[in-house]
């Protein structure tokens, strides 16, 4: 019998940490089901995504470790998903330790290590700082570059 693994995530701004999570989860079984959070579910959590659900789901669907993508529309669906998809193992990142132990009577629950030095939250924070540079500052920087060119020409 095939061992089905399930994991959940928003997968916004897909990065190597996401890829590592999916690879690790896939290595724990024969089939990997990935639930991608819908835009509506994220909004209910107070989370804003940059990439729409359909595109995030399509990206995840095309990762070679993933066998099936389903929408995550609520916190409560996890137990139903475990039963519906015949899940043997529920895998999440270690930042969720203990949060899904209630599933352990129905399947094995594993918390996987995070990838050091990368997170969507940090990427968004960096992007916000990068984008917060004023138009005037950018134009001043171009003026400085132009002046340097003239000085060294």
Domain range for 65 is 4-116
Residues 55 and 27 placed together within one structural domain of the fold = yes
Whether residues 37 and 94 fall in one domain: yes
**11: Cβ–Cβ under 8 A, 6 or more apart, which residues?**
18, 34, 36, 37, 56, 59, 60
Distance CA 133, CA 121 (A): 19
Whether residues 136 and 65 share a domain: the answer is: no
Same domain, yes or no: 56 and 111: yes
* 126 has a pLDDT exceeding 60: no
Do 136 and 106 lie in one domain? The reply is no
Residue numbers annotated as active site? 45, 47
pTM over 0.85, yes/no: no
Same domain, 148 and 79: no
CATH classification of the domain holding 20: 3.40.50.620
Q: Is the pLDDT assigned to residue 121 strictly greater than 90? A: no
Q: State the average pLDDT over residues 109-126.
A: 74
């Amino acid at each position: 019998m095939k061992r089905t693994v399930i994991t959940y995530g928003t997968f916004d701004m897909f990065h190597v940490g996401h890829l590592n999570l999916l690879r690790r989860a896939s290595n724990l079984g024969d089939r990997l089901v990935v639930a991608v959070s819908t835009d509506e579910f994220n909004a209910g959590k107070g989370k804003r995504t940059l990439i729409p659900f359909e595109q995030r789901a399509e990206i995840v669907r095309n990762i070679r470790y993933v066998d099936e993508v389903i929408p995550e529309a609520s916190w409560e669906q996890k137990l139903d998903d475990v039963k519906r998809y015949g899940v043997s193992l529920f895998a999440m990142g270690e930042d969720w330790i203990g949060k899904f132990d209630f599933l352990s009577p129905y399947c094995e629950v594993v918390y996987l290590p995070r990838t050091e030095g990368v997170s969507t939250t940090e990427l968004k924070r960096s992007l916000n700082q990068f984008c917060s540079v004023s138009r005037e500052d950018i134009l001043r920087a171009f003026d400085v570059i132009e002046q340097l060119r003239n000085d060294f020409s």
